[in-house]
Amino acid sequence: MQIQETKKTIFSGIQPSGILTIGNYLGALRNWVQLQEEYNTYYCIVDMHAITVRQDPSVLKKRCLELLALYIACGLDPEKNTMYFQSHVSAHAELGWLLNCNAYMGELSRMTQFKDKSAKQGNNIGAGLLTYPVLMAADILLFNTDLVPIGSDQKQHLELARDLAERFNNVYGQTFTVPEPYIGKSGARIMSLQEPNKKMSKSDENVNAFISMVDPADVVMKKMKRAVTDSGSGIIYSPDKPGISNLIDIYASCKGVTPKEVEKEFEGAGYGTFKEAVGTAVAEILTPIQQKQKELLSDKAYLEKIFTEGADKARYTANRTLWKAQKRMGLAPRKL
């Protein structure tokens, strides 16, 4: 009990907006698993973030449960981690509103993800896309989070969460812990297999651009073989070889080695041989996870118990922070 209380806190989340890719796994989930021993961890399924773009309700519902099963299948122990759905803890939306009232249009409209996603939406851009990072800041600040493990694409959003925390603390008095990002040494930015200058994304229209966590070994191999490589030859890690460098990153992250060590291992090898090795390394990681996820999904009662207990625990801590922030802003205080 004593140890539990002195542990630092981690919060992170993934949107159930599609089937996860190996980018999500290597950039985020895998690090979460490593961190679970040392920290007090909250790993959320951020379903309210997913609805910032239109979702098919029946598909979303299914994906939420699949994502929880995937968290566990990847190695998150339900005994050690608090796992729950964001929409089950209303303090997320409520603190999001308080922070919205302290956020500036200018800083929100400068967010790269907003610019990218709104460009795809044409004329009717949902307001949720603009305020999305404020909700993310609320997620994090509710738990007095010290560390947020994320892929490097989320760095800008985390910077905003820090700015909002500092601004709030300066105006209303010390309320929130200012969080730090945790970005892994390898796998922090896995690129598209088809356009290696673009991030691998689960919402890419081209299925050959990503490897999904549920792709069977033969599909993994097929997609790897189709991956765009660069002119010339040689397994060389260099900015002018974005295709092969991405494959080196994937292999290095799967095997826990450095890009330099990969170059050495494949010295003199051709692209074909290397792509096969990368495909095998990825499939070796995915196959056991897929089996475990399938088993877990056959026991809905077990999953329900985990997300219900997770939300109960998260709600308790989250409400305390929310009520403190409300009080600081001058809303009528209530008994804790």
Active site residues: 117, 199, 202
CB of 154 vs ligand LTN, minimal distance in Å? 5
Full strand arrangement of the beta sheet holding 9-14: 81-85, 40-45, 9-14, 147-149, 180-182
Binding mask 142-181 for ligand ATP (x = CB under 6 A): --------xx-xx---------------------------
140 interacts with, out of ligand ATP, ligand LTN, none, CB within 5 to 8 A per kind: ligand LTN
Four-point Cα dihedral 153, 158, 164, 165, nearest 10: 180
CB of 8 vs ligand LTN, minimal distance in Å? 15
Kind and range of the H or E element at 274? Answer: helix 271-297
Backbone CA torsion sign across 218, 22, 42, 49: negative
Instruction: Please report whether residue 131 would count as binding ligand LTN according to CB under 6 A.
Output: no
Compare residues 155 and 167 and give the one whose CB is closer to ligand ATP. Answer: 155
Q: Return the DSSP state at 269.
A: -
Instruction: Please report whether residue 48 would count as binding ligand ATP according to CB under 6 A.
Output: no
Place of tokens 């673009």: 198
Instruction: Please report whether residue 12 would count as binding ligand LTN according to CB under 6 A.
Output: yes
157 interacts with, out of ligand LTN, ligand ATP, none, CB within 5 to 8 A per kind: ligand LTN
- d(CA 124, CA 171) in angstroms, rounded, equals 34
Q: Shortest CA distance to 29 belongs to which of 255, 167, 213?
A: 213
Instruction: Please report whether residue 314 would count as binding ligand LTN according to CB under 6 A.
Output: no
CB of 136 vs ligand LTN, minimal distance in Å? 4
Phi first, then psi, for residue 9 (nearest 5°) are -105, 140
* SS3 category, 148: strand
Kind and range of the H or E element at 276? Answer: helix 271-297
Compare residues 111 and 262 and give the one whose CB is closer to ligand LTN. Answer: 111
Q: Encoding tokens for residue 306?
A: 């985990």
Instruction: Please report whether residue 253 would count as binding ligand ATP according to CB under 6 A.
Output: no
CB of 132 vs ligand LTN, minimal distance in Å? 7
Instruction: Please report whether residue 140 would count as binding ligand LTN according to CB under 6 A.
Output: yes
Q: Give the C-alpha distances (Å, rounded to integers) separating 169 from 10, 232, 316, 336.
A: 20, 55, 22, 20
Q: Shortest CA distance to 144 belongs to which of 310, 324, 332?
A: 324
Instruction: Please report whether residue 139 would count as binding ligand LTN according to CB under 6 A.
Output: yes
Place of tokens 């205080």: 333
CB of 60 vs ligand LTN, minimal distance in Å? 15
Q: Point out which span in 23-31, 133-141, 252-260, 316-324 binds ligand ATP (CB under 6 A).
A: 23-31
Residues contacting residue 274 through CB under 8 Å, at least 6 positions apart: 235, 244, 247, 251, 266
Find the binding residues for ligand LTN in span 40-79 (CB under 6 A): 46, 49
- d(CA 228, CA 5) in angstroms, rounded, equals 49
- Binding ligand ATP (rule: CB under 6 A), the pick from 109, 112, 121, 203 is 203
- Binding ligand ATP (rule: CB under 6 A), the pick from 67, 89, 95, 190 is 190
Instruction: Please report whether residue 74 would count as binding ligand ATP according to CB under 6 A.
Output: no
- By the criterion CB under 6 A, which residues form the site for ligand LTN? 11-13, 15, 46, 49, 136, 139-140, 148, 150, 154, 157
- By the criterion CB under 6 A, which residues form the site for ligand ATP? 14-15, 17-18, 23-24, 27-28, 150-151, 153-154, 188-190, 199-203
